[in-house]
Amino acid sequence: MKYVVLIRHGESYTNRNGILSSELNKYRLTEEGLEQARFTGEQLKGLKFNGIISSPVLRAVETANIINQFLNLHITTDNRALESDFGEYNGKRIVDIPDKSRNELGMESFESQQNRMIDLINSYEGSYLVVSHSFPIRCALAHYLGLNEEESFGMDIRHASMSVIDVENGKIMSIGSLLLSQRIKKIFE
């Protein structure tokens, strides 16, 4: 890719109920999440992209479809944008998960998640929107910033936020923003 805008899905019932889930069709966006996705779509209206790539998880697909109402682009689902594999903790409440590392819990590693997001970014030509999840987005950003998992903990990837990467120059232009600056908008005009 030349540029990528990584978009976290809007608030879903997993978020509202504090549940970890990578299930494809179980958790929809909340009313707040629907509104967040519409707001992001409005921010992107009139800008030019080659397409939208979405995680196949329902909350991401719903977000991509709402955003696309403002852009009318082709949407591709790509498993590399999936939510993390939570292993035996899939579907569990976050407060019930032991305070251990992802590796100790048998969850997908930071490195695995990072590798598949970077592979996704490197396999498309042009400028795309990628609708994914908080952790995969944080992993991709950490790659460009040269941060490991622990060093990236402070990144706040809010619901329906946009993180922009100038892939060709390896430069982060925004992290978890709800609005795009005029400087960034000019790139996609």
Block residue for tokens 């795309």: 128
Query: What angle do the packed helices 134-145 and 110-122 form, to 10 degrees?
Result: 80
Q: Tell which residue, 32, 7, 9, has the closest CA to residue 22.
A: 9
Select from 102, 104, 101, 30 the least CA-distant residue to 66. Answer: 30
| 53 in Cβ contact with 130 (< 8 Å) | yes
Q: What is the rounded CA–CA span in Å between residue 148 and residue 129?
A: 24
Distance CA 24, CA 96 (A): 22
Q: Please confirm, yes or no, whether 74 is among the known catalytic residues.
A: no
Catalytic (active site) residue 143: no
Hey, which residues are catalytic here?
9, 133
